[in-house]
Amino acid sequence: MNSDTVEKYSGTIISIPYNHLKIDALFYNINTHPDHLEHKPVIVRLHGVLGNLLDETEHYLPSILADQDYSSVTMNTLLANLGLFFGFGIFDDTIPQVDAVCNYLRNIGFKKIIIAGHGLGGCIALRYCALRNDIEKYPAINGVIAIATPYSIADTIRRRWERFGSEPSYDEVYEKAKKIFKPDSKLDTTQDEMIIIKKAHGHTYLPEHTEIYTLRTWWALAGPEAEGAKAYKQIGNLTKLPILLIHASNDEIIERRESEDLCQIALEAGNKNVTHAAINANHSFDNNHNDLARTITEWLDRF
């Protein structure tokens, strides 16, 4: 990758105030023309596991969208980077962070906002929009895009850990975590600890096949009682917002039926504006970002 390519995909780094902290994000295609702010939806992009730097989609897609004159903000949440490792990356705590970014975009003039996420980010996007599914109260939220999104984070992780024979097992982690975080637990919830899951992504003990959480972050994201991370429950509440679900037909993590089932639940809930698309790609859409971008821009062009 030469320097011109790096510059092309770099975006503009922005910091958005959030409580006593800040939210780091990359803003692509900053366009303040009144017609752009009024009529073109801006896309708030939510990362997958560990943040924005792990797959090519996070870099290529915003640039391709910008070529079609779409602005986008790729934000980090509490789940990014070390959040899962050190105990502060709690799934539902990302919701007010997304609010802060949406408020920032509204304050600079954008009238239409689309919430988009990939993998874990898709679960956050569906959760956020399910909680903001009120057109009168949240008129700027105009739709949601869920890319390679699991039916349920807990189910997806359990199946993967069982497939590779994780150490410790899903049930062993659950038994340990529930002693602290189950609502009727008598233990102090500050008794959190870091856990390392070997063979979580493959059959070896290599670092790339290992996952790290704390019991608290695992409970809020991957535990069987983590309601917010169950995409099938969230999408059933999205009766008013347009939805685009995109599945990668060669996805090594998410099964095709998961996306199809999410689509069916949304339709059965009464949402008449649900689009489902399949793209010939792996989970990260390596070497097929153009088809992903084309599918998204064709859907966005309806707004």
State which of 192, 221, 250 marks the end of a domain: 221
Average model confidence (pLDDT) across the chain: 89
Task: Provide the pLDDT confidence category of residue 84 given band limits of 50, 70 and 90.
Answer: confident
Measuring CA to CA, how many Å separate 105 from each of 51, 59, 98, 115? 21, 21, 11, 12
| Residue 44 and residue 141 in one domain | yes
* Strand arrangement of the beta sheet that strand 113-118 belongs to: 12-18, 21-28, 72-75, 42-46, 113-118, 141-147, 243-248, 274-279
| Residue 103 and residue 245 in one domain | yes
Nearest of 251, 301, 296, 294 to residue 144 by alpha carbon: 296
d(CA 209, CA 67) in angstroms, rounded, equals: 36
Do 142 and 70 form a contact (C-beta atoms < 8 A)? Answer: no
Least confident of 8-12, 96-100, 193-197, 214-218: 8-12
| Residue 255 and residue 169 in one domain | no
What pLDDT score does 167 carry?
97
Task: State the amino acid at position 91 in one-letter form.
Answer: F
Q: Which two tokens stand for residue 64?
A: 């391709």
Contacts of residue 33, Cβ cutoff 8 Å, sequence gap at least 6: none
What pLDDT score does 188 carry?
65
What confidence tens digit (pLDDT) does each residue in 153-188 have?
Answer: 999 999 999 999 999 999 999 999 999 888 776 666
| Residue 141 and residue 234 in one domain | yes
* DSSP E strands, the chain: 12-18, 21-28, 42-46, 72-75, 113-118, 141-147, 194-197, 211-214, 243-248, 274-279
| Residue 235 and residue 188 in one domain | no
| Residue 109 and residue 14 in one domain | yes
| Residue 288 and residue 167 in one domain | no
Task: Provide the pLDDT confidence category of residue 258 given band limits of 50, 70 and 90.
Answer: very high
- DSSP notation for 162-205: HHHT-BS-HHHHHHHHHHHHSTT--S-TT---EEEEBTSSSSS-
The CATH number for 250's domain is 3.40.50.1820
234 has pLDDT over 90: yes
What pLDDT score does 11 carry?
76
What pLDDT score does 8 carry?
47
Task: State the amino acid at position 299 in one-letter form.
Answer: W
State which of 196, 221, 246 marks the end of a domain: 221
pTM above 0.85, yes or no: yes
Task: Provide the pLDDT confidence category of residue 59 given band limits of 50, 70 and 90.
Answer: low
Nearest of 268, 255, 49 to residue 156 by alpha carbon: 255
What pLDDT score does 6 carry?
40
d(CA 134, CA 261) in angstroms, rounded, equals: 24
Half-sphere exposure of 58 toward its Cβ, with a 13 Å CA cutoff?
A: 19
Q: Which domain holds residue 179?
A: 154-221
Nearest of 278, 248, 236 to residue 152 by alpha carbon: 236
What pLDDT score does 31 carry?
87
Peptide bond into 168 cis (omega under 30): yes
What confidence tens digit (pLDDT) does each residue in 105-132 have?
Answer: 999 999 999 999 999 999 999 999 999 9
Do 87 and 192 form a contact (C-beta atoms < 8 A)? Answer: yes
| Residue 138 and residue 171 in one domain | no
231 has pLDDT over 50: yes
Residue 61 CA from chain centroid, whole number = 15
d(CA 269, CA 238) in angstroms, rounded, equals: 8
What pLDDT score does 58 carry?
59
What pLDDT score does 78 carry?
87
1 has pLDDT over 70: no
Residue that has been written with the tokens 């705590």 in this structure: 93
What pLDDT score does 5 carry?
43
State what percent of residues in the chain have pLDDT above 70: 91
| Residue 145 and residue 65 in one domain | yes
| Residue 98 and residue 204 in one domain | no
| Residue 83 and residue 163 in one domain | no
Number of domains making up the chain: 2
| Residue 147 and residue 159 in one domain | no
